[in-house]
Amino acid sequence: MRPDRVVTTGDIIVFVLLLAATAAGVAFASRSRPAGEEAAIEVNGVLREKLALSVDRLLKIESPYGFNTVEVSGGRIRVREASCSNKICAAQGWVHRETEEIVCLPNRFSVRVAGRGGEKYDGITR
Amino acid sequence: MSETRLASLAALAVVIHTLEGMIPMPFPWMRLGLANIVTLVVLALSGLGSALMVTVVRVVVGSLIAGQLLGPGFFLALAGGTAATVGMGLLHRVAGGGLSLVGVSLAGAFLHNAAQLAVAGLVYTRHAGVFYLLPVLMGLALPTGLVTGWLAERVVRRMKDDGESVNG
């Protein structure tokens, strides 16, 4: 058997650099996305409701495709119940950060969290 | 490396790619990238041109088998595959003996995921939220790149021990 040293110093340097890049990415992603102020609910691409995340409430959205019951609580929003077959929307749980989104494809239903005044910009750099 | 051998390896890549698609994953787009082992081996033994050929054949034939040819998944795979292969080829050439296939594979896994996300975000979804997946994908590239690179390095060493000509 030959000495089986596979990993070189260069490999370790690459690994550490990429690990640092990942950590920086995680830090940036969690810091750059503030908590949202409101949630826009769309059915089939048409805006149905805008809910302020500061006001706790329970709302059933009905359409020809089915119903989704959304719950706002403590600045977060989730789909609590849905008529769809797979319940992926309900399983996703709570969302509260800007641009976070819950989608229910069978019901053509979506909830998107936005900052105050909706999304005028994709992002802001200072 | 003879054309026959290259074609056999490309076919092997297609087989691994297809079998890998059957492994259940928490997300349908998640892959271990085991087919990349073949790309890495060909890269080390025969250079960037051959490796690129293997990648393109793998993506085209693999998508054909999966019934996804010319669908979004096909273009994502093609973008990720070519970006990773070209990047790995250049890195392999520049770094020389400084990097084993482990380091090359790690960088390739990163490039693969970044290129896929760029295409997904800019062409398909046009939704800024997609780019928040980048750190997740970067994190996933670390273990998969490490494992595939290590396996590829072992395969290349074994092939050289068995008398495979390096540039033939």
The answer to whether the CB of A44 falls within 8 A of the CB of A63 is yes
- Mean pLDDT, rounded, for B78-98: 94
Looking at chain B, the number of H-run helices and the number of E-run strands are 6, 0
Within a domain: A75: yes
Within a domain: A16: no
Within a domain: A57: yes
pLDDT tens digit sequence for B113-154 = 999 999 988 888 777 777 778 888 888 999 999 999 999 999
Q: Mark yes or no for CB contact A99/B134 under 8 Å.
A: no
Residues 111-130 of B with CB under 8 A from A: 127-129
Structure-model confidence comparison of residues A38 and A29, the more confident one: A38
Instruction: Please indicate if any CB of chain B lies within 8 Å of the CB of A25.
Output: yes
Within a domain: A91: yes
Paired residues of A70 in beta bridges: A59, A79
Q: Which of A8, A99, A124 to mutate to test the interface with B (most CBs of B within 10 A)?
A: A8
Chain A residue numbers touching B95 (CB-CB < 8 A) = 10
Domain B3-161: give its CATH code.
Answer: 1.10.1760.20
**Distances from the Cα of A68 to the Cα of A56, A75, A78, B5, B84, angstroms:** 17, 19, 10, 56, 42
For residue B78, pLDDT beyond 70: yes
pLDDT tens digit sequence for B23-42 = 888 776 788 889 999 999 99
Of the candidates B103, B141, B161, the beta carbon closest to that of A10 is on B103
Cα A92–Cα A94–Cα A100 angle in degrees, nearest 5: 80
Rg (C-alpha) for chain B, rounded Å, is: 15
| Residue boundaries of the structural domains of chain B | 3-161
What is the domain-level CATH number for residue A61?
2.60.320.10
User: Domain tally for chain A?
Assistant: 1
Q: Which residues of A58-77 are buried (b: 16+ CB within 10 A; e: fewer)?
A: eeebeeebbebbbebeebbb
- Confirm whether the ipTM is greater than 0.90: no
The pLDDT score that the predictor gives to residue B96 is: 83
B27: which DSSP letter? S
Report the side by side order of strands in the sheet with A46-52: A46-52, A38-43, A109-114, A101-104
